[in-house]
Amino acid sequence: MINLGDSLPDVTLYEYNDGEGGCSIGPRAFSLRARCVGKKVVIFGLPGAFTPTCSERHVPGYLAAAQDLFDAGVDEILCVAVNDAFVMHAWGKTFAAEGEVGMISDGNCALTDALGLAQDASARGMGRRSQRYALLADDGVVRRIVVDAPGKLEVSDAQSMLAFLRG
C-alpha cells in the first residue's frame, strides 16, 4: 500500500467532459500526478457508483463538507471508483456534484492497483473494485491515507478529513 511521504502514482484516469453548449465530448484522460502539482487535493475512493453506502453517505458527506474543505486549504476534491467515465458522470449528475467533487473514473483499476487498494468483489458480481479510502496529497505527495474496514465508513468520511486538516 502507498505510504505517507510517497508521491502519487503517475497513472491515467478519466473524467467525462460535457463540452460547451451541451455538446457531449466524452471521456477525457488526464495524468493524476500532473493534475495534483502545486495543489492540495483530497482523493476518496469507494467500491462503486450507485452502491448504497457510497451513494447514501460517502459522496453526500463530501458534498456537504466541500466548502469547509476548500476553506481549510483544499484545492480540489476527487471521488474515484473503478467505473467508467460515463457511469461516474451520470452518478455525479444525481448529486449535482459539478464544481465541488470531481467524479473520476479509474475504469482500468490503474490507480487502485498502484495504491495497493484493490479488492475482489466477484462473489457479489462486482469484479475488481476499490477499497474505501481517503487520502490527502499536497503537491502530489501523500500527507494522509486512511482505509476503512470492509463494509464500513468510519475513517474515510469527509468529517474525518476535515478534522485532520483543522488539526
Q: Which residues are catalytic?
A: 54
Q: What angle do CA 91, 47, 26 make, to 5 degrees?
A: 40
Burial of 22 (0-12, 13-18, 19+ CB in 10 A): exposed
Burial of 6 (0-12, 13-18, 19+ CB in 10 A): middle
- How many CA atoms are closer than 13 Å to the CA of 152, on its beta-carbon side? 9
Closest CA to 50 of 129, 156, 155, 135: 129
Q: Say if residues 42 and 76 touch (Cβ distance below 8 Å).
A: yes
Q: Say if residues 133 and 47 touch (Cβ distance below 8 Å).
A: no
CA 144 to chain centre: 14
